[in-house]
């Protein structure tokens, strides 16, 4: 069964500082991997995705993530955080066949200090 672990429940960074949110997955084959962001009262917005190919993927709002098969990781990074990045971030793994369900991690709540 597929699973996702986000070990950090809360992270606080200063505006302008770099950010890395950790994500580890478990899946029997090459996975589809996603990062979504959720602002309070809002839905899930797709930040970026990895399906295949280049292991460093670029997303919206200046975010990037790197797929490392050897570490079963897909960490999200941003070189300089803005106050508007404060939100909850979810890593998800998608099945590569069948119903294509997404399995989400428990999320990381990001707080940005001004």
Partner 1 sequence: EPEVTQTPSHQVTQMGQEVILRCVPISNHLYFYWYRQILGQKVEFLVSFYNNEISEKSEIFDDQFSVERPDGSNFTLKIRSTKLEDSAMYFCASSAANNQPQHFGDGTRLSIL
Question: Which residues would be at the binding site for partner 1 (CB under 8 A)?
Answer: 32, 34, 36, 41-46, 49, 51, 90, 92, 94, 96-107
Least spacing, CB of residue 34 vs partner 1, in Å: 6
Q: Which is nearer to partner 1, 9 or 17 (CB)?
A: 9
* DSSP character string of 51-75: -SS-SEEE-GGG-EEEEEGGGTEEE
Q: Which among 45, 17, 4 is positioned nearest to 111, based on CA atoms?
A: 17
Least spacing, CB of residue 82 vs partner 1, in Å: 21
10-14 and 108-113: which strand pairing? Answer: parallel
Q: Which is nearer to partner 1, 43 or 70 (CB)?
A: 43
């Amino acid at each position: 069964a597929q699973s996702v672990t986000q070990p950090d429940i809360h992270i606080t960074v200063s505006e302008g500082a770099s950010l890395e949110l950790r994500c580890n997955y478990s899946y029997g084959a090459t996975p589809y991997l996603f990062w979504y962001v959720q602002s309070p009262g809002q839905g899930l917005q797709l930040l970026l995705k990895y399906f295949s190919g280049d292991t460093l993927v670029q997303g919206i709002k200046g975010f990037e993530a790197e797929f490392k098969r050897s570490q079963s990781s897909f960490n999200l990074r941003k070189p300089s955080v803005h106050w508007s990045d404060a939100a909850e971030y979810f890593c998800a793994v998608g099945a590569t066949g069948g119903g294509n369900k997404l399995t989400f991690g428990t999320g990381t709540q990001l707080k940005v200090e001004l």
